Structure 1
Amino acid sequence: MIALYVILGLIVLFAVLSIYTVKQQTFAVIERFGKFSRVTDPGLHFRIPIVETISGRVSIRVNELNVKIRTKTNDNVFVDLLIAVQYFVDGKDKVWDAFYKLTNPQQQMESWIFDTVRAKVPTMILDDVFEKKEDIATDVEQSLTERLQYYGYSLVRALVNDIQPDAGVADAMNEINRQQRLRVAAEHEGEAKKIIVVKAAEADADSKRLSGEGIADQRTAIVEGLRESVSKTSKTLGVEATSVMTLVLMTQYYDMLTDVGKNSKTNTIMLPHTPGAVGTIQEQIIASLETSKKVGVEE
């Protein structure tokens, strides 16, 4: 009876040990006495316990390897590049190659990437590294594609995700960019100020032109009024027009003195105002009129 239980127990243990499962997008590598036997698909499977072992499992999902590389450009600037490589095992037929040909595939890919980038970047100046990073990625892809195929892998894409020059160089580049932007801003500000000055000058010119026209019209009206006043007075009183004009000018002169005295903000004006000064001013006005007449006759 005991022997029967032992046999049943061994059968149950044998059945349990023989069952195994494989997850989706994964393949299991089965070895028999240490030698490759087969590759099993995702799902429920059976194996011979002790005789057959699951040596490993290989995923065919896309993996990403990030490699940070420090190298020097052609203009002697040290720069750090972050290279991302996306790859996967190319189906069930390539599981054997991927599992047995490389012990550490990621470490091997890192070596190839280092070799490619450090051969490419030293031939480029720093600006070209930024502008032509796609060329660097293309070189990495070309370098890895054929090699990875031999080991059962396919390359999806190689990317240059980050470029970091030394901190001092990065600060200098930022300062250059800042100065360029300040220069552009200053140019725009200068153009704006120029427009303001030009418009102000044009407005001032228009204002002075209109002011001049107004003064001219004002003086024309004054002269016309004086002419009519002198003409009427000379006819009414029977005196010469020159005498009437002199009287009018003297009257305006005294009115001017009155206005100057009323305005507290007027600058100080030194005028001779002795009793004989009135006659002198009158003589000067008459002399000016006589001179004007002579000039008119000569013309």
Structure 2
Amino acid sequence: MNFLLLLVGIGAVIVYLSVIIVQQGTVAVITVFGKYARVLRPGLNFKIPFIEVIYRRISIQNRSVELAFQAITADQANVNFKAMLVYSVLNQEEETIKNVAFKFIDEASFMQALIRTIEGSIRSFVATKRQSEILALRSEIIEHVKAQLDTLLESWGYHLTDLQLNDIAFDEVIMRSMAQVVASSNLKAAAENEGQALLITKTKAAEAEGNAIQISAEAEKKASQLRGQGVALFREEVARGMAESAKVMTEAKLDASLILFSIWTEAIKHFAEKGQGNVIFLDGSTEGMDKTMKQLLAVEKMNTNADSSGIITPPPAPGRR
């Protein structure tokens, strides 16, 4: 009975040691006496107890790691980088799993090599660039690192899924100087914009003032022309009326000086009614009236000649004293 129980116990131990459960997202590498034998896939697996040994369980899922390091530019400026790296096993092929399992002595050694390789790649790139160029070269830095790491990581059995530079910062002194440069550039741009706006405003105001002056001058010119034409027409009509009156007086055998006397009295009446205290001197002498009469007769003679020749000539305005 005791022997039977012993056999059952030994069998249970052997079964327990033979059953291997591999979790989803991982594979198990089996060795026999220290030599690679095979790969166990996710699920229920069996191995030979005491002969086959699980050397290592390898995750085939994506893994991430954060990096923080410093680099120096070509003009001796310190640049602080914070990056996030996402990587995974290249594939589940047997050769790839063997590389992952046996290239490095352990996971810590692989991580150290990976981090130092990325830092060295970024530092070598930054060392060829100036401080003012770094912030604009984020994508170029990432492409440079990926180009250098892809082949190397594949030989290790891994694949670089993503690399992100989350933060690129300079020393505090450099950051302050950069902020001053940006602020001065903004002030310069604002001053230039303000100057351009002021120039445009003054130019438009000058154009508007010039247009207004031109319009006013044109209007004044037109008004002056109209006033001159009105005065000329008035004088012409007065001269024609007086000439006709003198002609009628002559035909009636009356003294034409009665016209001047009538005009004289009408003028004195108008001055008396409309005057505002101004002093006006009028030539009421016989010689003055005689001169005016001669001028009217000359106008009459010119009109008579114009009627006979068919050419109408505007009479001259009578002289004034």
TM-score for both structures, normalised by structure 2: 0.62
95, 98, 111: which one aligns with 2:97: 95
1:70 aligns with 2:92: no
Q: Do the aligned partners of residues 77 and 253 (structure 1) sit closer, same or farther apart at CA in structure 2, a change above 3 Å counting?
A: farther
Per the TM alignment, residue 16 of structure 1 is displaced from its structure 2 partner at its CA by 3.4
Q: Do the aligned partners of residues 222 and 146 (structure 1) sit closer, same or farther apart at CA in structure 2, a change above 3 Å counting?
A: closer
Q: Do the aligned partners of residues 240 and 130 (structure 1) sit closer, same or farther apart at CA in structure 2, a change above 3 Å counting?
A: farther
2:260 match:
238
152, 167, 177: which one aligns with 2:157: 152
2:14 match:
14
Q: Do the aligned partners of residues 40 and 173 (structure 1) sit closer, same or farther apart at CA in structure 2, a change above 3 Å counting?
A: same
Q: Which amino acid aligns with 1:228?
A: F
1:203 match:
208
Query: What do residues 8-37 of structure 1 show as CA deviations (whole Å, max 9, x unaligned)?
Result: 344334323422222344210223455544
Per the TM alignment, residue 232 of structure 1 is displaced from its structure 2 partner at its CA by 4.8
What's the secondary structure of 2:216's corresponding residue?
A: helix
Query: What do residues 91-125 of structure 1 show as CA deviations (whole Å, max 9, x unaligned)?
Result: 33122222222122111112222333333322321
The 10-residue stretch of structure 1 (145-154 or 229-238) with the greater mean CA deviation from structure 2: 229-238
Q: Do the aligned partners of residues 220 and 252 (structure 1) sit closer, same or farther apart at CA in structure 2, a change above 3 Å counting?
A: farther
Per the TM alignment, residue 131 of structure 1 is displaced from its structure 2 partner at its CA by 3.8
220, 224, 234: which one aligns with 1:228: 234
1:113 match:
118
| Number of equivalent positions | 260
The answer (yes or no) to whether the contact 1:79–1:166 under 8 Å persists in 2 is yes
Q: Which runs of 5+ in 2 are unaligned?
A: 246-258, 282-321
Identity %: 25
Q: Which runs of 5+ in 1 are unaligned?
A: 255-274, 284-299
The answer (yes or no) to whether the contact 1:87–1:154 under 8 Å persists in 2 is yes
1:27 match:
27
The 10-residue stretch of structure 1 (168-177 or 99-108) with the greater mean CA deviation from structure 2: 168-177
The answer (yes or no) to whether the contact 1:70–1:78 under 8 Å persists in 2 is yes
1:4 match:
4
What's the secondary structure of 1:238's corresponding residue?
A: helix
What's the secondary structure of 2:48's corresponding residue?
A: coil
Specify the structure having the higher radius of gyration (Cα).
2
Per the TM alignment, residue 44 of structure 1 is displaced from its structure 2 partner at its CA by 1.4
Per the TM alignment, residue 248 of structure 1 is displaced from its structure 2 partner at its CA by 9.8
1:39 match:
39
2 CA distance for matches of 1:9 and 1:33? 26
1 CA distance for matches of 2:98 and 2:11? 32
Q: Which amino acid aligns with 2:234?
A: E
Q: Residues 239-258 of structure 1 correspond to what in structure 2 (within 5 A)?
A: none
The answer (yes or no) to whether the contact 1:67–1:82 under 8 Å persists in 2 is yes
2:80 match:
80
The answer (yes or no) to whether the contact 1:138–1:158 under 8 Å persists in 2 is no
The answer (yes or no) to whether the contact 1:68–1:82 under 8 Å persists in 2 is yes
Per the TM alignment, residue 2 of structure 1 is displaced from its structure 2 partner at its CA by 5.0
2 CA distance for matches of 1:178 and 1:206? 42
